[in-house]
Structure 1
Amino acid sequence: MPIRLLALDLDGTILADLHTIPPRTQAAIKAAAARGVHVVIATGREYDITHKFVELLGLTTPTICYQGALIYNGSTGETIGREGMPVPLAHQLIDLARARRLALQFCLGETGTYVEAPSSLSRQTMTAVGATVQEVSDLKQVITTPPIKGLIVHPADEAETLTRELKNTLNGSLNVFRSHTTLIEITSPLVSKGHALATLAAYYDIPQAEVMAIGDHDNDIEMLAWAGLGVAMGHATSGAKAAADVIAPPLNEEGAAWAIEKFILQGSK
Protein backbone atom coordinates (compact mmCIF):
# COMPACT_ATOMS: atom_id res chain seq x y z
CA MET A 1 0.00 0.00 0.00
CA PRO A 2 1.34 3.48 -0.78
CA ILE A 3 2.14 5.87 2.06
CA ARG A 4 -0.40 8.70 2.13
CA LEU A 5 0.36 10.29 5.52
CA LEU A 6 3.89 10.97 6.79
CA ALA A 7 4.66 12.26 10.30
CA LEU A 8 8.10 13.69 10.98
CA ASP A 9 9.70 14.50 14.31
CA LEU A 10 11.86 17.63 14.26
CA ASP A 11 14.76 17.52 16.74
CA GLY A 12 17.08 14.60 16.14
CA THR A 13 15.16 13.50 13.05
CA ILE A 14 15.02 16.15 10.32
CA LEU A 15 16.92 18.98 12.02
CA ALA A 16 20.70 18.83 11.63
CA ASP A 17 20.92 21.32 14.50
CA LEU A 18 18.29 23.33 16.34
CA HIS A 19 17.41 25.42 13.29
CA THR A 20 18.53 23.69 10.05
CA ILE A 21 16.94 21.07 7.78
CA PRO A 22 19.66 19.69 5.44
CA PRO A 23 19.15 20.05 1.67
CA ARG A 24 18.65 16.34 0.89
CA THR A 25 16.05 16.02 3.64
CA GLN A 26 14.26 19.17 2.47
CA ALA A 27 14.19 17.86 -1.09
CA ALA A 28 12.81 14.47 -0.05
CA ILE A 29 10.05 16.02 2.07
CA LYS A 30 9.03 18.42 -0.67
CA ALA A 31 9.02 15.62 -3.24
CA ALA A 32 6.76 13.50 -1.02
CA ALA A 33 4.35 16.41 -0.58
CA ALA A 34 4.38 17.05 -4.33
CA ARG A 35 3.21 13.46 -4.83
CA GLY A 36 0.16 14.16 -2.69
CA VAL A 37 1.41 12.70 0.58
CA HIS A 38 0.07 14.57 3.62
CA VAL A 39 3.34 15.50 5.38
CA VAL A 40 2.97 16.66 8.98
CA ILE A 41 5.49 17.82 11.56
CA ALA A 42 5.08 16.07 14.93
CA THR A 43 7.06 17.82 17.65
CA GLY A 44 7.18 18.71 21.30
CA ARG A 45 7.83 22.32 20.35
CA GLU A 46 5.18 25.01 20.44
CA TYR A 47 3.65 26.14 17.15
CA ASP A 48 5.23 29.60 17.31
CA ILE A 49 8.73 28.12 16.95
CA THR A 50 7.65 25.31 14.61
CA HIS A 51 5.79 27.22 11.90
CA LYS A 52 9.04 28.50 10.33
CA PHE A 53 9.91 24.90 9.40
CA VAL A 54 6.37 24.30 8.12
CA GLU A 55 6.73 27.38 5.91
CA LEU A 56 10.26 26.43 4.80
CA LEU A 57 8.96 23.08 3.59
CA GLY A 58 5.91 24.65 1.94
CA LEU A 59 3.49 22.54 3.99
CA THR A 60 -0.18 23.49 4.39
CA THR A 61 -1.07 20.49 6.54
CA PRO A 62 -1.83 20.54 10.29
CA THR A 63 1.06 20.43 12.75
CA ILE A 64 1.25 18.16 15.79
CA CYS A 65 2.68 20.32 18.59
CA TYR A 66 3.38 19.94 22.31
CA GLN A 67 3.89 16.16 22.00
CA GLY A 68 0.42 15.78 20.49
CA ALA A 69 -1.53 17.97 22.91
CA LEU A 70 -2.35 20.40 20.08
CA ILE A 71 -3.07 19.72 16.41
CA TYR A 72 -3.22 23.04 14.60
CA ASN A 73 -3.28 24.12 10.97
CA GLY A 74 -1.63 27.51 10.65
CA SER A 75 -2.73 27.81 7.02
CA THR A 76 -6.42 27.70 7.88
CA GLY A 77 -6.45 28.58 11.59
CA GLU A 78 -8.23 25.31 12.35
CA THR A 79 -7.61 23.54 15.65
CA ILE A 80 -8.21 19.83 15.05
CA GLY A 81 -7.35 18.60 18.53
CA ARG A 82 -6.42 20.03 21.94
CA GLU A 83 -5.87 18.18 25.23
CA GLY A 84 -4.71 19.96 28.39
CA MET A 85 -3.96 18.63 31.86
CA PRO A 86 -6.44 19.24 34.71
CA VAL A 87 -5.68 22.40 36.69
CA PRO A 88 -5.56 20.61 40.10
CA LEU A 89 -2.89 18.25 38.77
CA ALA A 90 -0.95 21.18 37.33
CA HIS A 91 -1.02 22.85 40.76
CA GLN A 92 0.17 19.60 42.36
CA LEU A 93 3.08 19.62 39.93
CA ILE A 94 3.89 23.22 40.89
CA ASP A 95 4.03 22.23 44.57
CA LEU A 96 6.32 19.34 43.72
CA ALA A 97 8.61 21.57 41.64
CA ARG A 98 8.82 24.15 44.42
CA ALA A 99 9.73 21.48 46.97
CA ARG A 100 12.42 20.04 44.68
CA ARG A 101 13.56 23.41 43.27
CA LEU A 102 12.92 22.27 39.72
CA ALA A 103 12.80 24.58 36.71
CA LEU A 104 9.17 23.88 35.75
CA GLN A 105 7.41 25.81 33.02
CA PHE A 106 3.91 25.49 31.63
CA CYS A 107 2.76 25.97 28.05
CA LEU A 108 -0.73 27.40 27.76
CA GLY A 109 -0.72 27.32 23.98
CA GLU A 110 -2.34 30.42 22.54
CA THR A 111 -1.52 32.58 25.58
CA GLY A 112 2.15 31.69 25.99
CA THR A 113 4.63 29.81 28.15
CA TYR A 114 5.36 30.66 31.78
CA VAL A 115 8.00 29.80 34.37
CA GLU A 116 8.26 30.62 38.06
CA ALA A 117 11.88 29.82 38.92
CA PRO A 118 14.02 29.39 35.79
CA SER A 119 17.49 27.91 36.06
CA SER A 120 20.47 29.01 34.00
CA LEU A 121 20.13 25.77 32.02
CA SER A 122 16.44 26.35 31.29
CA ARG A 123 17.15 29.92 30.16
CA GLN A 124 19.94 28.73 27.86
CA THR A 125 17.79 25.96 26.42
CA MET A 126 14.80 28.18 25.65
CA THR A 127 17.04 30.83 24.10
CA ALA A 128 18.70 28.19 21.92
CA VAL A 129 15.40 27.01 20.41
CA GLY A 130 13.99 30.53 20.11
CA ALA A 131 11.19 30.06 22.64
CA THR A 132 9.70 33.01 24.52
CA VAL A 133 9.07 32.19 28.18
CA GLN A 134 7.51 34.70 30.57
CA GLU A 135 8.77 34.72 34.16
CA VAL A 136 6.08 35.08 36.84
CA SER A 137 6.14 35.19 40.63
CA ASP A 138 3.35 32.64 41.14
CA LEU A 139 2.57 29.99 38.54
CA LYS A 140 -0.65 29.01 40.28
CA GLN A 141 -2.11 32.45 39.59
CA VAL A 142 -1.38 31.97 35.88
CA ILE A 143 -2.51 28.35 35.58
CA THR A 144 -6.28 28.82 35.87
CA THR A 145 -7.15 26.91 32.68
CA PRO A 146 -5.77 23.50 31.61
CA PRO A 147 -2.17 23.90 30.41
CA ILE A 148 -1.13 22.00 27.31
CA LYS A 149 2.04 20.65 28.89
CA GLY A 150 4.63 21.09 31.60
CA LEU A 151 8.35 21.08 30.91
CA ILE A 152 11.27 20.62 33.28
CA VAL A 153 14.77 21.44 32.06
CA HIS A 154 17.20 19.41 34.15
CA PRO A 155 20.89 18.39 33.95
CA ALA A 156 21.35 15.41 31.64
CA ASP A 157 23.14 13.25 34.22
CA GLU A 158 20.17 13.52 36.61
CA ALA A 159 17.23 13.68 34.18
CA GLU A 160 16.61 9.95 33.84
CA THR A 161 16.48 9.44 37.61
CA LEU A 162 14.19 12.45 38.05
CA THR A 163 11.88 11.14 35.33
CA ARG A 164 11.49 7.83 37.17
CA GLU A 165 10.85 9.61 40.47
CA LEU A 166 8.19 11.84 38.92
CA LYS A 167 6.47 8.85 37.34
CA ASN A 168 6.36 7.09 40.71
CA THR A 169 5.10 10.19 42.53
CA LEU A 170 2.40 11.03 39.98
CA ASN A 171 1.43 7.35 39.65
CA GLY A 172 -0.09 7.56 36.18
CA SER A 173 -2.14 10.70 36.80
CA LEU A 174 0.06 12.50 34.27
CA ASN A 175 2.25 11.32 31.40
CA VAL A 176 5.98 11.87 32.15
CA PHE A 177 8.72 11.25 29.59
CA ARG A 178 12.02 12.57 28.27
CA SER A 179 12.11 14.19 24.84
CA HIS A 180 15.80 15.13 25.01
CA THR A 181 18.72 14.46 27.33
CA THR A 182 17.81 17.52 29.43
CA LEU A 183 14.06 17.82 28.81
CA ILE A 184 11.35 16.14 30.90
CA GLU A 185 7.83 16.68 29.60
CA ILE A 186 4.55 16.26 31.47
CA THR A 187 1.17 16.05 29.75
CA SER A 188 -2.31 14.68 30.21
CA PRO A 189 -2.16 10.87 30.11
CA LEU A 190 -4.37 11.09 27.02
CA VAL A 191 -1.63 12.91 25.08
CA SER A 192 0.91 11.30 22.77
CA LYS A 193 2.17 11.82 19.25
CA GLY A 194 0.66 8.43 18.44
CA HIS A 195 -2.83 9.48 19.51
CA ALA A 196 -2.49 12.73 17.56
CA LEU A 197 -1.34 10.84 14.47
CA ALA A 198 -4.33 8.51 14.73
CA THR A 199 -6.57 11.59 14.96
CA LEU A 200 -5.06 13.02 11.78
CA ALA A 201 -5.36 9.71 9.94
CA ALA A 202 -9.07 9.69 10.78
CA TYR A 203 -9.32 13.36 9.78
CA TYR A 204 -7.93 12.52 6.33
CA ASP A 205 -9.70 9.12 6.19
CA ILE A 206 -6.38 7.32 5.70
CA PRO A 207 -5.99 3.73 6.98
CA GLN A 208 -3.26 2.98 9.53
CA ALA A 209 -1.38 0.82 7.02
CA GLU A 210 -0.82 3.87 4.80
CA VAL A 211 0.75 5.97 7.55
CA MET A 212 4.52 6.35 8.06
CA ALA A 213 6.28 8.01 10.99
CA ILE A 214 9.94 8.85 11.57
CA GLY A 215 11.42 9.68 14.98
CA ASP A 216 14.35 9.20 17.32
CA HIS A 217 13.39 9.59 20.98
CA ASP A 218 11.14 8.12 23.66
CA ASN A 219 8.43 10.71 22.98
CA ASP A 220 8.15 9.21 19.48
CA ILE A 221 7.52 5.64 20.69
CA GLU A 222 3.70 5.72 20.48
CA MET A 223 3.84 7.36 17.06
CA LEU A 224 6.32 4.81 15.70
CA ALA A 225 4.32 1.93 17.15
CA TRP A 226 0.97 3.19 15.80
CA ALA A 227 2.08 3.99 12.26
CA GLY A 228 1.76 1.28 9.65
CA LEU A 229 5.45 1.88 8.99
CA GLY A 230 7.49 3.21 11.90
CA VAL A 231 11.05 4.31 11.16
CA ALA A 232 13.57 5.01 13.92
CA MET A 233 16.74 6.94 13.24
CA GLY A 234 20.02 5.05 13.55
CA HIS A 235 21.00 7.02 16.67
CA ALA A 236 17.54 6.63 18.26
CA THR A 237 16.90 5.53 21.83
CA SER A 238 16.48 1.81 22.46
CA GLY A 239 12.77 2.36 23.15
CA ALA A 240 12.22 4.14 19.84
CA LYS A 241 14.10 1.44 17.94
CA ALA A 242 12.07 -1.30 19.62
CA ALA A 243 8.82 0.41 18.58
CA ALA A 244 9.88 0.84 14.94
CA ASP A 245 9.61 -1.48 11.96
CA VAL A 246 12.73 -0.13 10.27
CA ILE A 247 15.99 1.43 11.47
CA ALA A 248 17.24 4.22 9.18
CA PRO A 249 20.75 5.64 9.04
CA PRO A 250 21.56 8.22 11.75
CA LEU A 251 20.93 11.95 11.58
CA ASN A 252 24.41 12.78 10.30
CA GLU A 253 23.68 10.56 7.29
CA GLU A 254 20.23 12.11 6.74
CA GLY A 255 18.36 8.95 7.70
CA ALA A 256 14.98 10.65 7.35
CA ALA A 257 15.73 11.47 3.72
CA TRP A 258 16.83 7.86 3.16
CA ALA A 259 13.54 6.56 4.54
CA ILE A 260 11.38 8.95 2.51
CA GLU A 261 13.28 8.14 -0.66
CA LYS A 262 13.07 4.38 -0.07
CA PHE A 263 9.50 3.97 1.12
CA ILE A 264 7.69 6.85 -0.59
CA LEU A 265 9.63 8.13 -3.59
CA GLN A 266 10.86 4.69 -4.67
CA GLY A 267 7.88 2.81 -3.24
CA SER A 268 9.87 0.02 -1.56
CA LYS A 269 8.58 -2.10 1.31
Structure 2
Amino acid sequence: MIELIAIDMDGTLLDSRKQLPQENIDAIQAAVAAGIKIVICTGRSKAGVKPYFDQLGLTEEEYVILNNGCSVHETLNWSTLYGQPLKTEDILDLQSHVDANPEVDLVLATNKDYYFIGENPSAIAQADADMVFTKIHPISKEAIAKIEESVYNAMYMGEAEAIDDFQAKNEKVINAHYSGVRSQTFLYEVMTKGYHKATGLAHLANHLGIESGNIMAIGDANNDLELLNYAGLAVAMGNASDTIKEQANKVTKSNDQAGVAYAIKEFALKV
Protein backbone atom coordinates (compact mmCIF):
# COMPACT_ATOMS: atom_id res chain seq x y z
CA MET A 1 0.00 0.00 0.00
CA ILE A 2 1.41 3.37 -1.04
CA GLU A 3 1.44 5.86 1.86
CA LEU A 4 3.74 8.53 0.38
CA ILE A 5 4.54 9.68 -3.15
CA ALA A 6 7.83 11.53 -3.77
CA ILE A 7 7.68 13.53 -7.00
CA ASP A 8 10.54 15.23 -8.85
CA MET A 9 9.72 18.56 -10.52
CA ASP A 10 11.66 19.39 -13.69
CA GLY A 11 11.04 16.80 -16.37
CA THR A 12 8.50 15.08 -14.11
CA LEU A 13 5.79 17.15 -12.42
CA LEU A 14 6.29 20.05 -14.84
CA ASP A 15 5.94 19.78 -18.59
CA SER A 16 8.62 20.92 -21.03
CA ARG A 17 7.27 24.49 -20.87
CA LYS A 18 7.73 24.49 -17.07
CA GLN A 19 3.96 24.45 -16.60
CA LEU A 20 2.01 22.33 -14.10
CA PRO A 21 -0.63 20.30 -16.00
CA GLN A 22 -4.13 20.32 -14.53
CA GLU A 23 -4.21 16.52 -14.80
CA ASN A 24 -1.30 16.32 -12.37
CA ILE A 25 -3.02 18.69 -9.95
CA ASP A 26 -6.22 16.64 -10.03
CA ALA A 27 -4.39 13.35 -9.47
CA ILE A 28 -2.36 14.74 -6.59
CA GLN A 29 -5.51 16.05 -4.92
CA ALA A 30 -7.11 12.61 -5.37
CA ALA A 31 -4.07 10.98 -3.74
CA VAL A 32 -4.27 13.35 -0.77
CA ALA A 33 -7.99 12.62 -0.42
CA ALA A 34 -7.06 8.92 -0.26
CA GLY A 35 -4.72 9.62 2.66
CA ILE A 36 -1.43 9.56 0.74
CA LYS A 37 1.27 12.09 1.67
CA ILE A 38 2.60 14.11 -1.25
CA VAL A 39 6.27 15.13 -1.20
CA ILE A 40 7.80 17.32 -3.89
CA CYS A 41 11.43 16.19 -4.14
CA THR A 42 13.62 18.47 -6.22
CA GLY A 43 17.00 20.07 -6.72
CA ARG A 44 15.31 23.47 -6.63
CA SER A 45 15.26 25.75 -3.61
CA LYS A 46 12.13 27.16 -1.99
CA ALA A 47 11.80 30.15 -4.32
CA GLY A 48 11.53 27.86 -7.32
CA VAL A 49 9.04 25.48 -5.71
CA LYS A 50 6.49 27.45 -3.69
CA PRO A 51 4.64 29.07 -6.64
CA TYR A 52 3.99 25.61 -8.12
CA PHE A 53 3.16 24.03 -4.78
CA ASP A 54 0.58 26.75 -4.19
CA GLN A 55 -1.11 25.72 -7.47
CA LEU A 56 -1.76 22.26 -6.02
CA GLY A 57 -4.31 23.74 -3.61
CA LEU A 58 -3.38 21.45 -0.73
CA THR A 59 -4.54 22.45 2.74
CA GLU A 60 -3.16 19.62 4.88
CA GLU A 61 0.42 19.42 6.14
CA GLU A 62 2.55 18.11 3.29
CA TYR A 63 6.31 18.20 2.84
CA VAL A 64 8.92 19.26 0.30
CA ILE A 65 12.47 18.01 -0.08
CA LEU A 66 14.60 20.76 -1.61
CA ASN A 67 18.19 21.25 -2.74
CA ASN A 68 18.61 17.62 -3.82
CA GLY A 69 17.77 16.34 -0.34
CA CYS A 70 19.78 18.82 1.71
CA SER A 71 16.71 20.43 3.29
CA VAL A 72 13.25 19.17 4.25
CA HIS A 73 10.35 21.52 4.93
CA GLU A 74 6.78 21.42 6.20
CA THR A 75 4.37 23.21 3.88
CA LEU A 76 1.81 24.89 6.13
CA ASN A 77 4.35 27.44 7.37
CA TRP A 78 7.42 26.36 5.35
CA SER A 79 9.44 25.70 8.48
CA THR A 80 12.63 23.67 8.14
CA LEU A 81 12.38 20.15 9.47
CA TYR A 82 15.92 19.23 8.53
CA GLY A 83 18.87 20.85 6.78
CA GLN A 84 22.45 20.05 5.81
CA PRO A 85 24.20 23.12 4.35
CA LEU A 86 27.67 23.47 2.90
CA LYS A 87 30.32 25.13 5.06
CA THR A 88 32.21 28.26 4.04
CA GLU A 89 35.43 26.29 3.68
CA ASP A 90 33.59 23.82 1.42
CA ILE A 91 32.45 26.64 -0.85
CA LEU A 92 35.96 28.12 -1.06
CA ASP A 93 37.32 24.70 -1.96
CA LEU A 94 34.67 24.24 -4.66
CA GLN A 95 35.43 27.70 -6.02
CA SER A 96 39.08 26.75 -6.47
CA HIS A 97 38.05 24.28 -9.18
CA VAL A 98 36.77 27.04 -11.48
CA ASP A 99 39.88 29.23 -11.26
CA ALA A 100 41.31 27.33 -14.25
CA ASN A 101 37.90 27.10 -15.95
CA PRO A 102 36.65 30.68 -16.56
CA GLU A 103 33.92 29.39 -18.88
CA VAL A 104 32.23 27.79 -15.85
CA ASP A 105 30.32 29.74 -13.18
CA LEU A 106 29.93 28.67 -9.56
CA VAL A 107 26.48 29.61 -8.26
CA LEU A 108 25.40 29.09 -4.66
CA ALA A 109 21.77 28.26 -3.86
CA THR A 110 19.99 29.25 -0.67
CA ASN A 111 16.25 28.88 -0.16
CA LYS A 112 15.84 32.55 -1.02
CA ASP A 113 18.46 33.68 -3.53
CA TYR A 114 21.39 32.69 -5.74
CA TYR A 115 24.90 34.00 -5.17
CA PHE A 116 27.49 34.14 -7.95
CA ILE A 117 31.15 34.27 -7.00
CA GLY A 118 32.48 36.94 -9.35
CA GLU A 119 31.27 40.12 -11.01
CA ASN A 120 29.22 39.16 -14.07
CA PRO A 121 27.20 35.93 -14.05
CA SER A 122 26.77 34.28 -17.41
CA ALA A 123 23.54 34.35 -19.38
CA ILE A 124 23.07 30.68 -18.47
CA ALA A 125 23.30 31.39 -14.74
CA GLN A 126 20.94 34.35 -15.07
CA ALA A 127 18.44 32.32 -17.08
CA ASP A 128 18.42 29.56 -14.46
CA ALA A 129 17.84 32.12 -11.69
CA ASP A 130 14.96 33.64 -13.66
CA MET A 131 13.43 30.19 -14.24
CA VAL A 132 13.24 29.51 -10.50
CA PHE A 133 12.03 33.04 -9.59
CA THR A 134 15.31 33.83 -7.85
CA LYS A 135 17.59 36.86 -7.74
CA ILE A 136 21.29 36.28 -8.41
CA HIS A 137 23.77 38.36 -6.41
CA PRO A 138 27.41 38.72 -7.50
CA ILE A 139 29.72 38.50 -4.46
CA SER A 140 33.43 38.25 -3.72
CA LYS A 141 35.15 35.25 -2.15
CA GLU A 142 35.54 37.29 1.02
CA ALA A 143 31.78 37.82 1.24
CA ILE A 144 30.91 34.12 1.22
CA ALA A 145 31.13 33.86 5.01
CA LYS A 146 28.70 36.78 5.29
CA ILE A 147 25.82 35.08 3.43
CA GLU A 148 23.06 35.00 6.03
CA GLU A 149 21.03 32.10 4.61
CA SER A 150 22.24 28.51 4.57
CA VAL A 151 23.92 27.51 1.31
CA TYR A 152 22.63 24.03 0.51
CA ASN A 153 23.78 23.55 -3.05
CA ALA A 154 26.77 24.67 -5.14
CA MET A 155 26.15 24.63 -8.87
CA TYR A 156 28.71 24.64 -11.67
CA MET A 157 26.99 26.19 -14.70
CA GLY A 158 28.04 26.66 -18.31
CA GLU A 159 27.54 25.51 -21.88
CA ALA A 160 27.09 21.74 -22.12
CA GLU A 161 30.52 21.24 -23.71
CA ALA A 162 32.21 23.30 -20.98
CA ILE A 163 30.46 21.33 -18.22
CA ASP A 164 31.36 18.07 -19.99
CA ASP A 165 35.02 19.08 -19.89
CA PHE A 166 34.83 20.39 -16.33
CA GLN A 167 33.16 17.21 -15.10
CA ALA A 168 35.72 14.99 -16.83
CA LYS A 169 38.59 16.89 -15.22
CA ASN A 170 37.19 17.43 -11.73
CA GLU A 171 34.47 14.88 -10.92
CA LYS A 172 36.77 12.33 -9.27
CA VAL A 173 38.34 14.88 -6.93
CA ILE A 174 35.04 16.61 -6.12
CA ASN A 175 33.20 13.37 -5.40
CA ALA A 176 35.93 12.27 -3.02
CA HIS A 177 34.80 15.03 -0.65
CA TYR A 178 31.24 15.93 -1.74
CA SER A 179 28.19 14.49 -3.48
CA GLY A 180 28.13 15.65 -7.10
CA VAL A 181 25.56 14.97 -9.81
CA ARG A 182 24.98 16.08 -13.41
CA SER A 183 21.29 16.91 -13.35
CA GLN A 184 21.08 19.03 -16.53
CA THR A 185 23.29 19.47 -19.58
CA PHE A 186 24.36 22.92 -18.33
CA LEU A 187 24.56 22.02 -14.64
CA TYR A 188 26.77 19.99 -12.31
CA GLU A 189 25.50 20.20 -8.72
CA VAL A 190 27.44 19.60 -5.51
CA MET A 191 26.12 18.91 -2.01
CA THR A 192 27.57 17.83 1.32
CA LYS A 193 29.14 14.37 1.09
CA GLY A 194 26.60 11.57 1.38
CA TYR A 195 23.53 13.75 0.83
CA HIS A 196 21.06 13.38 -2.02
CA LYS A 197 17.29 13.16 -2.51
CA ALA A 198 17.11 9.74 -0.86
CA THR A 199 18.76 10.94 2.36
CA GLY A 200 16.20 13.71 2.65
CA LEU A 201 13.37 11.27 1.95
CA ALA A 202 14.74 8.72 4.43
CA HIS A 203 14.84 11.39 7.14
CA LEU A 204 11.26 12.40 6.37
CA ALA A 205 10.03 8.80 6.19
CA ASN A 206 11.54 8.11 9.61
CA HIS A 207 9.88 11.27 10.96
CA LEU A 208 6.50 10.13 9.60
CA GLY A 209 6.93 6.47 10.50
CA ILE A 210 6.57 5.31 6.88
CA GLU A 211 8.57 2.36 5.57
CA SER A 212 10.39 2.72 2.25
CA GLY A 213 8.38 -0.19 0.85
CA ASN A 214 5.25 1.95 1.09
CA ILE A 215 6.76 4.84 -0.86
CA MET A 216 6.39 5.53 -4.57
CA ALA A 217 8.96 7.79 -6.23
CA ILE A 218 8.64 9.37 -9.67
CA GLY A 219 11.62 10.88 -11.50
CA ASP A 220 13.48 11.32 -14.77
CA ALA A 221 17.08 12.45 -14.22
CA ASN A 222 20.40 11.38 -12.72
CA ASN A 223 19.72 13.20 -9.46
CA ASP A 224 16.67 10.95 -9.03
CA LEU A 225 18.60 7.67 -9.08
CA GLU A 226 19.07 7.34 -5.31
CA LEU A 227 15.46 8.40 -4.79
CA LEU A 228 14.18 5.69 -7.14
CA ASN A 229 16.43 3.07 -5.56
CA TYR A 230 15.19 3.97 -2.06
CA ALA A 231 11.47 3.78 -2.83
CA GLY A 232 9.55 0.54 -2.75
CA LEU A 233 7.96 1.46 -6.08
CA ALA A 234 10.19 3.34 -8.52
CA VAL A 235 8.52 4.99 -11.50
CA ALA A 236 10.51 6.47 -14.38
CA MET A 237 9.02 9.11 -16.63
CA GLY A 238 8.49 8.27 -20.29
CA ASN A 239 10.97 11.05 -21.14
CA ALA A 240 13.66 9.64 -18.83
CA SER A 241 16.88 8.15 -20.18
CA ASP A 242 17.27 4.41 -20.62
CA THR A 243 19.57 4.41 -17.57
CA ILE A 244 16.81 5.77 -15.37
CA LYS A 245 14.19 3.45 -16.85
CA GLU A 246 16.39 0.44 -16.16
CA GLN A 247 16.43 1.35 -12.44
CA ALA A 248 12.65 1.65 -12.23
CA ASN A 249 9.89 -0.85 -11.51
CA LYS A 250 7.44 0.98 -13.78
CA VAL A 251 7.55 3.50 -16.62
CA THR A 252 4.81 6.09 -16.96
CA LYS A 253 3.98 8.57 -19.72
CA SER A 254 6.16 11.59 -20.47
CA ASN A 255 6.01 14.91 -18.63
CA ASP A 256 4.21 16.41 -21.64
CA GLN A 257 1.55 13.71 -21.32
CA ALA A 258 0.88 14.26 -17.59
CA GLY A 259 2.92 11.19 -16.68
CA VAL A 260 2.67 11.96 -12.97
CA ALA A 261 -1.13 11.81 -13.12
CA TYR A 262 -0.99 8.51 -14.99
CA ALA A 263 1.44 7.01 -12.45
CA ILE A 264 -0.64 8.10 -9.47
CA LYS A 265 -3.87 6.73 -10.90
CA GLU A 266 -2.39 3.47 -12.21
CA PHE A 267 0.18 2.56 -9.54
CA ALA A 268 -0.99 4.24 -6.32
CA LEU A 269 -4.76 4.62 -6.38
CA LYS A 270 -5.71 1.40 -8.13
CA VAL A 271 -5.91 -1.45 -5.62
Unaligned runs of 5+ in 2: none
CA contact 1:114–1:139 (8 Å) conserved in 2: no
Shift of 1:77: 4.0
Pairing 1:202–2:203 present: no
Deviation track 1:35-87 (CA, whole Å, cap 9, x = no partner) reads 11000100111112211121111233121011011101241343211112232
Decide which moves more: 218-227 or 76-85.
76-85
Shift of 1:225: 0.4
CA distance in 1, matches of 2:146, 2:93: 13
Where does 1:16-27 land on structure 2 (aligned, <5 Å)?
16-17=15-16, 19-27=18-26
Shift of 1:20: 1.3
Match of 2:114 in 1: 113
Where does 1:224-243 land on structure 2 (aligned, <5 Å)?
224-243=228-247
The percent identity for this pair of structures is 27
Match of 1:127 in 2: 130
Match of 2:184 in 1: 180
Q: Which segments of structure 1 move beyond 4 Å, counting only runs of 4 or more?
A: none
Shift of 1:164: 3.3
Tell me the SS of whatever aligns to 2:137.
Answer: strand
CA distance in 2, matches of 1:37, 1:81: 21
CA distance in 1, matches of 2:136, 2:17: 17
Pairing 1:50–2:49 present: yes
Shift of 1:227: 0.2
Letter in 1 for 2:62: T
Match of 2:27 in 1: 28
Tell me the SS of whatever aligns to 1:99.
Answer: coil
Letter in 1 for 2:267: F
Decide which moves more: 3-12 or 69-78.
69-78
Letter in 2 for 1:205: G
Tell me the SS of whatever aligns to 1:11.
Answer: helix
CA distance in 1, matches of 2:151, 2:267: 37
CA contact 1:94–1:140 (8 Å) conserved in 2: no
Rate the CA distance shift 1:164–1:175 in 2: closer, same or farther, 3 A.
farther
CA distance in 2, matches of 1:178, 1:242: 18
CA distance in 2, matches of 1:95, 1:193: 26
TM-score normalised by L of structure 1: 0.91
Match of 1:72 in 2: 73
Backbone CA RMSD of aligned residues: 1.8
TM-score normalised by L of structure 2: 0.90
Match of 1:81 in 2: 82
